[in-house]
Amino acid sequence: MDHGAFSREGGGVTRRAALLGTLAVFGTAVLAGCTPAASAGGPVPLKFWHLLSGGDGVNMAELIAKVNAGTDEFVASQTVLAWGPPYYTKLAMASAGGRGPEVAIMHASRLPGYAPGGLLDPWDIDLLAEFGVSEENFPERIWEKGFSDGELFSIALDAHPFILMYNTDIAEQAGVLDADGRLREITSPEEFLEVASLMQQVTGEHGVSYGYLGDGAQMWRLFWTLYKQQGAEMELEPGKEAVVDEAAAVTALEFMQRMLDDTIATTRADYPSAIAEFANGQTGMFLTGVWELPTMQRAELPFDAMPIPTMFGTPAAHADSHAFVLPHQEVPDEAKRRETYRFVSEVLKESFDWAKAGHIPAYLPVTESPEYAELQPQANYAAAAEIINYDPAAWFTGSGSDFQTYFAESIQGVLLSGDDAATGFRDFVDRLNTLLSKPTPV
């Protein structure tokens, strides 16, 4: 995820500009092929590819500089590539040719499209343990997501879930804070709409900010959260029809329709509009990702954040993770491979700085530290890491893929024009079945 003036995860409105800004700040440090040559006996040079620009790119560059300065064993140089398909295409091409960098960032949700085809090399769990990285250092769901066919292929740096932000001043005026000054517990869709309505009465405009127009990622994140809160599953096995829970899907979509009534939330809002609306104090709540934390801090807004309320019985939230992978190399340099493990371990151990951008570090020694407990509002939504749900596993799903675009093509009319939820969802499932009937590209 790269962070621009308007979040790239929210639709990439300024992704290109953010990337160019990051390049300008860090100059040759982010240019491909700039890995410094190691002198005899000097630090081992490592090539590190990622797709983080904007605020995330700045934070990552600072983190890399910090770990480089802390050791004489390696020196990592970053190559920053454009978010989404350009990045994943280049990574796949380099890996297919066995010429990948020593290490790269990949969204954990993209693993099913890469690991089975031999585009990634597995991590050696014993060697990771030598550098202080092991299963007990991660939440169970996050650690398990890194596996494919019994081997570990990705190590999560973070979790970045869909959460709820709320304006504390508006919430206080609406009488919806508890004795601790936090938003009162919400356990049903009716309670959520009631709280939103009370906030709307304070703002005189809307109760909730939720932008989705032309943005399949935003539509999917909220839908998947509500779908999974019903304990529903979605299985996408190549050569077979998709296994879905249509009743749960309809329930989720109909709730979204109820919310988008031009009073609780505007029927017509794109993601940048939703950001601006909440930042300007025109709504009381904002359905968004953790990556918008810096945006609201810069707005000097009185706000707090929490995991998405459990409205349908099962705690759940859509999420993804930035994860370290080993792009396939035909003949890995063993010295570089060993120092890559050291590099990843050092970044994980220093990931408290990564939390400042809103992400939840995956490395538990960081999130369980006294320092993290004092980090607000991050500590108030850290529990979301225990209830995250990645996209259903398939070669065509995940962040930066076309999967969420397909969802938008079927579902936007349901939200915008009140089209029948069941019909819209069936259209999406038909699209999934078409993809599942095709041979897996890798």
Q: What percent of the chain has a predicted confidence (pLDDT) above 70?
A: 91
For residue 325, the model assigns a pLDDT of: 98
3-class state of residue 318 by DSSP = strand
Mean pLDDT of all residues in 54-81:
94
For residue 213, the model assigns a pLDDT of: 97
For residue 40, the model assigns a pLDDT of: 55
Q: Would you state the structure tokens that stand for residue 287, as one six-digit string? A: 């359905």
Q: Does 21 have pLDDT greater than 60?
A: no
For residue 15, the model assigns a pLDDT of: 31
345 residue type, one letter: S
H/E element, 424: helix 421-436
Q: Look at strands 147-148 and 388-389 and give their pairing.
A: unpaired
202-252 pLDDT tens trace: 999 999 999 999 999 999 999 999 999 999 999 999 999 999 999 999 999
Confidence band of 343 (pLDDT split at 50, 70, 90): very high
3-class state of residue 270 by DSSP = coil
Mean pLDDT of all residues in 88-114:
94
Q: CA-to-CA distance for 145 and 110, rounded, in angstroms?
A: 10
Two domains, one topology: 15-157+321-368 and 162-318+391-436: yes
Q: CA-to-CA distance for 195 and 177, rounded, in angstroms?
A: 10
Which residues have CB under 8 Å from 88's CB, separation 6+?
A: 106, 110, 400, 401
Whether the Cβ atoms of residue 207 and residue 200 lie closer than 8 Å to each other:
yes
Q: Where are the domains of the chain?
A: 15-157+321-368, 162-318+391-436
- Class of the CATH-defined domain 15-157+321-368: alpha beta
In CATH terms, the fold of domain 162-318+391-436 is: D-Maltodextrin-Binding Protein; domain 2 (3.40.190)
122-134 pLDDT tens trace: 999 999 999 999 9
